[in-house]
Structure 1
Amino acid sequence: MTTVDAAFQEITQAQLLPRIIRLGDNLYGASFSLMKLVPARHILLKAVERGLLGPDTEIVETTSGTFGLALAMQAALLGRRLTLVSDPVLDVNLRRRLLDLGTRVEVCEQPMPVGGYQESRLRRLAEIQAENPDTFCPEQYTNPDNPASYAIVADHLAATVGPVDCVIGPVGSGGSMCGTVGALRSARPDVTAVGVDTHRSVLFGHQDGSRTLRGLGNSLMPANLDHTVFDEVHWCTPAEAFAATRRLHREHALFQGPTSGAGYLVGRWWAARHPDARCVVMLPDEGYRYQETVYDDSWLAAQGHDVHGLPQAPVEATDPTLPTAAWSRYPWGRRSYEDATGQARPQRAVAAGAAR
């Protein structure tokens, strides 16, 4: 590579690190164009380095959102075939982009009685791998390269913001929060981790159910989710997340998705309660996929979502297994799932990436 060549970056490398934006006296937003590029790029490049992803190896994964897009971008740059298994929630515009990047997309039309669409997708993924032995699955929910990839984000935060006291962020695979906080705690063990989930997600004790808010939460338990990382957990409703997303745009001109809105809702409250703490909220992706939903007043009205007001504080939950009807908070206390909920951690762990 010449010196001139070395001065330029691939698009996935150029978009890896978030923009750091001040959102308050002690609150900073880590605003990603596409956060899932961090694990997708790291996992695939490590697979090439280890000989797991040869020139003819097909990449296969199950996803309904941004991890699939990140894989498609990196697969195109690597010149590798990619098959994604998804479900009907995959939006039309994202599917068009995946196809334009050369990705083969399969959609599972029926959910399984247990595990829903994620289980259907996992079963179809297993069939594809059985049909073609020369495949590589990134397995974002079990692959330790997922959380490990966020060390560069932790370094970026420390270099840009300075000593970080608290990280607030949505939880899906567990990779971004567990990886970023784990790396920061290698230097400062007292860094606080605040996880943001949504109701009827199994991650922190709720029973699985239908969820409108996408991009966080899960129907199956990811192996990469280390519950002992988290000091507290919040659950947000879709209406609250949508309203916070619109406020983030209106007050800070940050055009993000509803997962970011959920993080912002919790982050601004937590930072206000701890004015001496330097806080960072993770804002995972931009809002272009949501222009016809979250950013459309007529759609919001049709769905019954009021985005003109936000609760001032969460409901204090006394039992993480009992959902409330509104934004709620539970002091998790860096405990295991078993210790915090009084229940066994669900046995069925996600075998491959399924939520985003």
Structure 2
Amino acid sequence: MGAAPIFELGSEALKPPRLLRLAPNFYVAIFGIMKLYPASYIIRQAEARREIGPHTLVVETTSGTFGLALAMVCAERGHRLWLVGDGAIDATLRDRILGLGADISIVTEPAAVGGMQQARLNLLTALRRDHEDHFWPAQYENPDNSRSYAELAEMLHAQLGQIDCLIGTVGTGGSMCGTAAALGERCPGLHVVGVDTHGSVLFGQPDRPGRLLRGLGNSLLPRNVVHTAFDEVHWVSAADAFSAAHELHRRHALFMGPTSGAAWLAARWWAHEHPDRQVVAILPDEGHRYMSTVYDREWLAARGLGRAALPSAPVTVDTPGFEGEGWSRFGWHRRRIDEVLAGSEIERAA
């Protein structure tokens, strides 16, 4: 009898996505916990540089799955972890993180500038001051966040060959900018589409605290967002992202979260408009965390977030500072953000 196959266990086994074909030219990369890529890579690189020792406390600010991914990696590798989050950490996610042995502190009031994210950073600064032997992964600024996705790009190219368009949501900038950089080396002419939400500062909208659509967008501008990586930007509202998640479930039995819904909405349209181009969308979150919100029809109705039907196409806008909540797109053309905003000011003045 031959030897039994050996499977990798733990977080490393959960990193790779499932690749599904939804249309002749449209693929989706479906993740359980996409943030395992940067969490694992950042911690391992820090260990290799001896920035993490046997008594080092790992500290980070997050209210999403990066915290869960860090908790998984730190538990496996024997590191203490203390996270700073806000009310966006739902009970299920919090309990999973606590069950892995991490500590969590929750901020309840936004900072005057920078909202809840800045308030979390302020508390994180205090934690770092109180614990001399600490390591901060700094997902918003650490270039290892983006570098970690070279592995994903290599896998996508190995399985699909030439990819013409990559579409995904933008939050810290790591997943899209890192994957696009590495994939662009393998796929000449790669078109990169970033998906944001209204009231996020990432691509020039004024900050709006209290955004319901989380997991993408930001009240701060992370260094890992490389604006010159993007050819096109879409803004998707919470209502449309929630409805898109429902539609994705109905059409394809894919039970995904609203961030995935937003990416799928933009990517489905782009693939339809360019039938001769091969399109890949990154769907970073599953739907299990959202049973009491996005998938609760009473919760949606109470907040006026129900949709009878999804819009069939985005509206093309001529400035990132447009008003309104509709699904919109803008030709970014791989420019720096100061170039785009300066051009928008000139157009408005004219």
TM-score, with structure 2 as normaliser = 0.95
For residues 327 and 122 of structure 2, the distance between their equivalents in structure 1, rounded to whole angstroms, comes to 34
For residues 73 and 83 of structure 1, the distance between their equivalents in structure 2, rounded to whole angstroms, comes to 13
* Residue in structure 1 matched with residue 42 of structure 2 by the alignment: 43
Letter matched to residue 59 of structure 1: V
Q: What per-residue deviation string (whole Å, max 9, x for no partner) do you get for residues 286-342 of structure 1?
A: 111001111111111111112330001111111112233200000000000011111
- Do the aligned partners of residues 5 and 134 (structure 1) sit closer, same or farther apart at CA in structure 2, a change above 3 Å counting? farther
The answer on 1:309 being equivalent to 2:312 is no
Partner SS for 1:181: helix
The answer on 1:221 being equivalent to 2:250 is no
* Residue in structure 1 matched with residue 109 of structure 2 by the alignment: 110
For residues 8 and 281 of structure 1, the distance between their equivalents in structure 2, rounded to whole angstroms, comes to 27
Letter matched to residue 15 of structure 2: L
Work out the percentage of aligned pairs sharing the same amino acid. Answer: 51
User: Does structure 2 retain, via aligned residues, the 8 Å contact 1:154–1:181?
Assistant: yes
Offset at 1:6?
9.6
Paired residues in the alignment total 341
The answer on 1:151 being equivalent to 2:150 is yes
Letter matched to residue 88 of structure 1: G
- Do the aligned partners of residues 254 and 274 (structure 1) sit closer, same or farther apart at CA in structure 2, a change above 3 Å counting? same
* Residue in structure 2 matched with residue 268 of structure 1 by the alignment: 268
User: Does structure 1 retain, via aligned residues, the 8 Å contact 2:157–2:186?
Assistant: no
Q: What per-residue deviation string (whole Å, max 9, x for no partner) do you get for residues 35-84 of structure 1?
A: 11110011001111110111110100001111000000101001110000
User: Does structure 2 retain, via aligned residues, the 8 Å contact 1:206–1:323?
Assistant: no
* Residue in structure 2 matched with residue 13 of structure 1 by the alignment: 12
Letter matched to residue 22 of structure 1: R
Offset at 1:343?
8.1
For residues 144 and 179 of structure 1, the distance between their equivalents in structure 2, rounded to whole angstroms, comes to 9
* Residue in structure 2 matched with residue 339 of structure 1 by the alignment: 339
The answer on 1:251 being equivalent to 2:245 is no
Offset at 1:89?
2.0
Gaps of 5+ in 1: 345-356
Q: How does 1:1-356 map to 2 (within 5 A)?
A: 7-210=6-209, 211-342=211-342
Gaps of 5+ in 2: 345-350
Offset at 1:242?
0.6
User: Does structure 2 retain, via aligned residues, the 8 Å contact 1:200–1:323?
Assistant: no
Partner SS for 1:53: coil
Partner SS for 1:127: helix
User: Does structure 1 retain, via aligned residues, the 8 Å contact 2:256–2:287?
Assistant: yes
Letter matched to residue 43 of structure 1: I
Q: What per-residue deviation string (whole Å, max 9, x for no partner) do you get for residues 214-238 of structure 1?
A: 0000000000000000000000011
- Do the aligned partners of residues 275 and 6 (structure 1) sit closer, same or farther apart at CA in structure 2, a change above 3 Å counting? same
TM-score, with structure 1 as normaliser = 0.93
Partner SS for 2:23: coil
User: Does structure 2 retain, via aligned residues, the 8 Å contact 1:246–1:307?
Assistant: no
Letter matched to residue 113 of structure 1: A
Letter matched to residue 79 of structure 1: G
User: Does structure 1 retain, via aligned residues, the 8 Å contact 2:184–2:190?
Assistant: yes
Question: Which range is displaced more, 293-302 or 56-65?
Answer: 293-302
RMSD of Structure 2 on Structure 1 (CA): 1.5
Question: Which range is displaced more, 156-165 or 65-74?
Answer: 156-165
Displaced runs of 4 or more, over 4 A: none
For residues 40 and 158 of structure 1, the distance between their equivalents in structure 2, rounded to whole angstroms, comes to 22
